[in-house]
Amino acid sequence: MCGIAGKVAGTGNVDPGILERMCEVIRHRGPDSRGTFLGEGAGLGIQRLAIIDLETGDQPIRNEDGSVVVVLNGEIYNYRELRAELEGRGHRFATRSDTEVIPHLYEEFGDDCVHRLRGMFAFALWDRRRRRLLLARDRLGKKPLFYSSRDGTLWFGSEPKSILQDAAVPRDFDPDAIDAFLHFGFVPDPLSAFRSLRKLPPAHILTWQDGKVATRRYWRLAYTPKRRFADEGEMGEAIRERLLEATRLRMRSDVPLGAFLSGGVDSSGVVAAMAQLAEGTVRTFSVGFDVDSFDETRYAREVAELFGTEHEEFRLEADAVAVLPTLVWHYGEPFADESAIPSLYLAEVTRRHVTVALNGDGGDESFGGYGHHLSGMVASRLGWMPHGLARGAGAIAARFSGRSSARRAGWLAHAVTLSPTDLSSFIAARFTEAEREEIYSPEFRDAVTLDAGPRVIGRVLEDSDAPTALERLLDVDVNTYLPSDLLVKMDIATMAHSLEVRSPLLDHEFVEFAASLPADVKRRGRTSKIALKDALRAWIPDHVLDRPKMGFSVPLAEWFRGRLRDLPAEILLDPGSLERGLFREGSLRRLIDDHLDLRADNARQLWALIQLELWFRSYIDPALPERPALDLGASRPLATR
């Protein structure tokens, strides 16, 4: 796990000082060593977090004659198998690292080398003979990669702040990206909050040669054809076997490793697999909250006891938001997922003990675990009904959809009238189109297109082969929420503390297998993740698997009516904030007052607006963003086992 950065130019050489600054600003991603390559108009840099081959694995890594140079962020889990194959083809290796398989695979297969890689990765490969750059990102988007292309020059980096170290790259914001952020709560790829930057989407490669840039997609998740099994027992055995294999690959490490444990289905399944594979005691880590309805530590503790792990728990309180300046600096773009706060603290606590942690990300996207999957399925099924009858049925169903009480009354009643694209867009909206129009100033409204959701989701559904309403919702999640929110949250939070996180349930072969299962074994009505839960019953008690899903969130609504009640107004109604001219002051006041007076739960909308304003203060206002001092004093230990 590392951070990479670089620059290639059609003419001249890369300034080594710029390359050093690009690396220095992401030192947190890899504090163990820095490596650079300079030559022929190219500069590649790497901040390394040493996980595999601690002694000889420093990067950049080259092939035998040095004509191919690679820097890698991530891990190639099947590197041992690939190395044996490549040695059989006559290739010679100088290290024991996973990175070294990439230049040799490139020699054999060219750009198609990405098809052979099983892992999480973002890498840059410089072909010195052809003066050609290849950038690649893993299939599901575990590792990030930003780039900027101007006048024949290309910059790239694991985080935006690397690219912004070069004064030649403008730092003005993209209005459509801001509109998309307020729709989704994150900036979806390929957009970036900076007008001059873009994200390389997951499962894509980018090539640069002679100043020309081209991108193409090399993988897409398929939901057809479907697998069939003799019975549920055979299916469960197949799921367990694949989970064990994916976990075994992710336990390859030359440094200590552990696991995040919430006590939910997914993380418990991963810990159960680890306990069977580990030679010693598994270490597990959990975070709790000062509001009981959000605190899962008692469930995590039960699973830890079940598998005899060495378990540590920490609790967060409302003053945990003191970490906001640090959080905004690390994320580099406006990012509204409030669970970034506990993720940041959990990573800090975990890094005190291990360098690698496994987690349960991915189970909901493969097996239908989110509340909005139920809402979307119901809306889709009601779509055939006459309009008036559908609205009435929708209003009743909305009461059970999981939406907050103030917004759910008309939510599903409206959703049943929408096309599949508009339905998915409506489900994903933190601010709907109408709500954004309400808060935007006339000037900012004129600067945006207001079609962020339909545009992003329409592109996914146009290319999807998902045959059912549930699987279309899953495909949208896999291509939007998963890479642009969930994986961004975890990558940035953990890399801020030089911690590597691996996700067995996001092994692309496991995800492909799950996609091939019939939709009715994933979710039926309110019963979610059926096949996964049934498979795990061989390892985990029923009451753990069948308890209601809580999710990894924070009690924002309570905090904004309690100890943090003044925070939204202090930030959003500050004269400097209002002078940006993006929002109507009266609309902001109504959002705040309605929340405080219990007329609505606007906590997540207010949080998004706060994150946006703090991003402006960190990245747009100053000449260069400065890293705040990291203070995680708002967590306290609960128990160590």
Active site members:
2
Q: Looking at the DSSP assignment, which residues form a beta bridge with residue 581?
A: none
Q: Output the 3-class SS for 487-555.
A: HHHHHHHHHCCCCEEECHHHCHHHHHHHHCCCHHHCCECCECCHHHHHHHCCCCCHHHHCCCCCCCCCC
Contact 131, 40 (CB under 8 A): yes
Nearest Cα to 203, choosing from 482, 427, 470, 420? 482
The whole-angstrom separation of Cα 491 and Cα 158 is 10
Q: Which residue has the tokens 């009238």?
A: 417
Q: Structure tokens of 37?
A: 């390559």
Nearest Cα to 379, choosing from 424, 354, 426, 412? 412
Alpha helices in 224-296 (DSSP H): 232-250, 265-277
CA distances from 639 to 280, 288, 300, 558 (A): 21, 11, 12, 25
Contact 638, 297 (CB under 8 A): yes
Measured in whole angstroms, how far is the alpha carbon of residue 167 from the centre of its chain?
A: 28
The whole-angstrom separation of Cα 369 and Cα 362 is 10
Q: Helix, strand or coil for residue 418?
A: coil
Measured distance between the N- and C-terminal CA atoms of the chain, rounded to whole angstroms: 28
Q: How many CB atoms lie within 10 A of CB 227?
A: 11
Contact 343, 171 (CB under 8 A): no
Q: Structure tokens of 81?
A: 């198998």
Distant-in-sequence, close-in-space partners of 434: CB < 8 Å, separation ≥ 6 = none
